[in-house]
Amino acid sequence: MDLLLVILIDGLIYGAWLFIVSVGLTLVFGVLGILNLAHGSLYAIGAYAAASAVGLYFTLGGDVFPLGSYAAMILAALLVAVVVAPILERGLLRHFYHRDEVLGVLVTYGVFLILEDVIKLIWGVEPLFVFEPYDLLGTIEAGPLFYVAYDFLVIAAAVVTGILVWYFLNGTNRGKVVLAVIHDREMSQTMGVNVDRVFMLAFGAGVFLAALGGALTAPMISVSPGIGVNVIIVAFAVIIIGGLGSIEGAALGAVMVGIARAASVHLVPELELFIIYFVMAIVLVFRPEGLFVKTQTRKI
C-alpha cells in the first residue's frame, strides 16, 4: 500500500514538472503551428537566469527574507520571456507561419544550436548551484516517508499554472481569441482577429512557461550546459500523448507519463527510459494523433 502511495506522490511530482515544461510547447504549436525544438534551450536559459537571480538576491542581502528568492526566480523567467520571445518571434519565426510544419522544426533546430552556445557564452561552462530555495521549506512527513516540501511547491506551481492558462483561455476575451486561432487560423484572420498579436502573445507565454520550468528546476539540479537537451524529448512525448496543441492533453499526458515513470522507477528500474515511449506508443495505437485531437478526413 505504501508503495502505491509512493508511486502516486512521485508520479504527481514528476508529472507536475512535466506539465510545466510541456504546456508552453503545446500552446506554441497550437497557435503558431511551430513545434519549437528550442523549447529545451529556453528552459535552460530560464534555469540559468533563475540561478543568477537567486545568487544575486542573496548577495544583495536577501538572507533577511529568504522566501523572496522565489519571486526572484519568477521574475527571472519573466525577464527571459520579455527579452527572448520578441527577438525570436518577430525576428525569425513569423517568416514561417504559413509554411510547412517540418520547416518550423528545422528553423527551431537552428535556434536550438545557437542558443546552446549563447548560454555557454553568457554563463560559461562551469555548473551553477543554488540550493537555498530548495531547502527553504524544510521537509514534509507523509506516513513513513519524508519529502522535500519544495517538491510539493512544484505540484502547486503546476496546478496554479494550469488553472491560470485554463482561465485565460476560457474565461477572458483575449483568451477566447487565442482559442479561436488554435481552432482555425485562417477563419479567425478573416473574422478580423489580429493574428499577429495573438502569435506574439502566445509565443511570449510559451517562452515564459519554458523559462519558468527551468527556473523552478534550477534549485533541484546543478545548472550546467546541456540540461535543456533532454527536456524537449520528454516534453514532446507528453504533448504527443495529449494531442499536439491541446492544453488539457498536456495535463493528462504529463500525469500519465509521470505516474508511469514513477511506477517503473520503483518496480522495474531498467525500463525507466522506455516507459515514456511505451505510454506514447500505446496511446498512438488507439489514437493516432493523441488523446485530445480527432483524426479528420480530408475533404475532396
Partner 1 sequence: MEKSPVLVAAVTLTGLIVLGFALPDWAQFLMTIALAKGLVSLGIVAGMRCGVVSFGQGLYFCLGAYTAGLMSRWTGVTDVFLLTFLSVIVAGGVGVIFGPLLSRYRGIFFAMLSLSLSMILFGALAKTTSLGGTDGVNVAAPTFAGYAPEGGALATALYLFIVTVTVIIGTVMRIVFDSQSGLVSLAVRSNELRVEYLGSSANGIVAVSYVIAAILGGVGGVVTALAIGHVDPEYAFWTTSGEFVFVAILAGYLSIPAVFVASIVLEVVRSFSNLYFPNTWQLVLGVFLLVVILVRPDGIGSIKLWRRRESAGAAEPSA
Residues that bind partner 1 (CB under 8 A): 35, 92, 95, 100-107, 109-118, 120-121, 125, 229, 233, 236-237, 240, 244, 270, 272-274, 277, 280, 284, 288-289, 298, 300
> Which SS3 state, helix, strand or coil, does residue 24 take?
helix
Question: Is the CB of 154 or the CB of 235 nearer to partner 1?
Answer: 235
> Which SS3 state, helix, strand or coil, does residue 145 take?
strand
CB of 167 to partner 1, least distance (A): 29
3-state secondary structure 171-193: HCHHHHHHHHHHHCHHHHHHCCC
CB of 111 to partner 1, least distance (A): 7
Q: Which of 292, 230, 244, 238 is nearest to 31 (CA)?
A: 244
CB of 217 to partner 1, least distance (A): 20
CB of 198 to partner 1, least distance (A): 21
Question: Is the CB of 219 or the CB of 258 nearer to partner 1?
Answer: 258
Q: What is the Cα–Cα distance from 228 to 113, expressed in whole angstroms?
A: 11
DSSP string, 30-97: HHH----TTHHHHHHHHHHHHHHHHHHHHHTTGGGSTTHHHHHHHHHHHHHHHHHHHHHHHHTGGGGT
Question: Is the CB of 73 or the CB of 291 nearer to partner 1?
Answer: 291
Question: Is the CB of 70 or the CB of 203 nearer to partner 1?
Answer: 203
CB of 95 to partner 1, least distance (A): 7
Q: What does DSSP say about strands 139-142 and 145-148: parallel, antiparallel, or unpaired?
A: antiparallel
Question: Is the CB of 162 or the CB of 245 nearer to partner 1?
Answer: 245
Q: What is the Cα–Cα distance from 11 to 256, expressed in whole angstroms?
A: 8
Question: Is the CB of 53 or the CB of 244 nearer to partner 1?
Answer: 244
Residue matched to cell numbers 527556473: 215
Q: Which of 72, 48, 46, 47 is nearest to 59 (CA)?
A: 72
Question: Is the CB of 82 or the CB of 233 nearer to partner 1?
Answer: 233
CB of 21 to partner 1, least distance (A): 16
Q: Any idea what the Cα angle at residue 152 is, between residues 150 and 153, rounded to 5°?
A: 60
Question: Is the CB of 133 or the CB of 243 nearer to partner 1?
Answer: 243
CB of 290 to partner 1, least distance (A): 10
CB of 272 to partner 1, least distance (A): 8
- C-alpha distance from residue 99 to each of 23, 96, 102, 106 (Å): 23, 5, 9, 12
